[in-house]
Amino acid sequence: MLLKVTNAKYINEYKIELFFNDGFNGIVDLENSIKGDVFKPLKNIDYFKSFKKNRWTIEWDCDADFAPEYLYSLIVNKGNTQANQVGS
C-alpha cells in the first residue's frame, strides 16, 4: 500500500495533525525540517499555515512538500504519545 496523508489539521506553531490512509494519525512538528531554499517561505508562520492537502501529502504554493513517509517517520520516531493506530 502506498502511504498517503488523508487529512491534515493545523495545531499551532509548526505542528500539524496528520491522518494517514493506514489508519494512523499523530502530530508532526516540522520546525526542524524547514531547511533549504524551497522551504524558506515556511519560516513565516502565516505562510506555513496555508498548506493544502494534495493527492498524497501536504504542500504549499511555493512547491514545498514533504513525503508522507517522512512525515509518518517523524511522528513515530519522536515517540509521540498522541499518535494513534485505528484498531489497536
Residue 1's pLDDT is what? 82
Buried b (16+ CB within 10 A) or exposed e, 37-70: eebebbeeeeebeebebeeebbbbeeebbbebee
Q: Binning pLDDT at 50, 70 and 90, where does residue 87 land?
A: very low
Q: Is the pLDDT of residue 81 over 50?
A: no
> Over the stretch 16-51, which tens digit does the pLDDT of each residue have?
999 999 999 999 999 999 999 999 999 999 999 999
Q: What is the mean pLDDT of residues 61-77?
A: 96
Delineate the domains of the chain, giving CATH numbers in brackets: 5-85 (3.30.2020.10)
- C-alpha–C-alpha distance, residues 5 and 22, integer Å: 9
